[in-house]
Amino acid sequence: MTNAGFAARAHAGGMESSSTPPASLVPVAFGRASATHGHLLARTRGSIDDVIAALTRAIAAAQMLVLHAIDPQRILSAHGYQLPPARQLLLFHPRYMARLLAIDPAAIVEAPLKIAVLTDPDTGEVTARMADPRVTFGAYAGLCELGEELAATSERILAAVGGDP
């Protein structure tokens, strides 16, 4: 595909799928997930749509904003790959950004927070996973308190998924 073709298909949040999907999709092989140190997670047997709906409600209840929702399954499909249902939610709030920037502008690379939601192709289990803000923001002088606050909020949001941590 030419750069012009690539640019023509680019769209906010991902790639627009072409009007004609590839004739055959290559399944994406899943490795074994590494240890969860530094991650917060929740698992359930529910559908990905139910999980995204629960997370979206919990994010709003936590007075956070969903800045963007990404559909990796659609993006990969547009380029010839088959992925089980997957989504990514970017979330944050301007009040946290203002606090972060006042303390250490270098920490802007840690915002927004991201929740990755992935369906296991073998079990159908849906996992919602995100970096633990205690770890990411704790690496910056003066941001441990903000990291703790964001971690507590993130844990409440992920609890909406139900299932096992």
Q: How many CA atoms lie within 13 A of 14 on its CB side?
A: 18
**From CA 30, how far away is CA 72, in angstroms rounded?**
14
* pLDDT value for 30: 84
Decide if pLDDT at 61 tops 60: yes
The closest alpha carbon to 161, from 39, 53, 33, belongs to: 53
| CATH numbers and ranges of domains, the chain | 38-159 (3.30.310.70)
* pLDDT value for 20: 57
* pLDDT value for 55: 98
pLDDT digits (tens, 9 = 90+) for 106-147: 999 999 999 999 999 989 999 999 999 999 999 999 999 999
Sheet holding 113-119, edge to edge: 39-44, 126-131, 113-119, 86-92, 65-70
pLDDT digits (tens, 9 = 90+) for 63-116: 999 999 999 999 999 999 999 999 999 999 999 999 999 999 999 999 999 999
φ, ψ for residue 43, nearest 5 deg: -125, 150
Where does the pLDDT of residue 1 fall: very low under 50, low under 70, confident under 90, or very high at 90 and above? Answer: very low
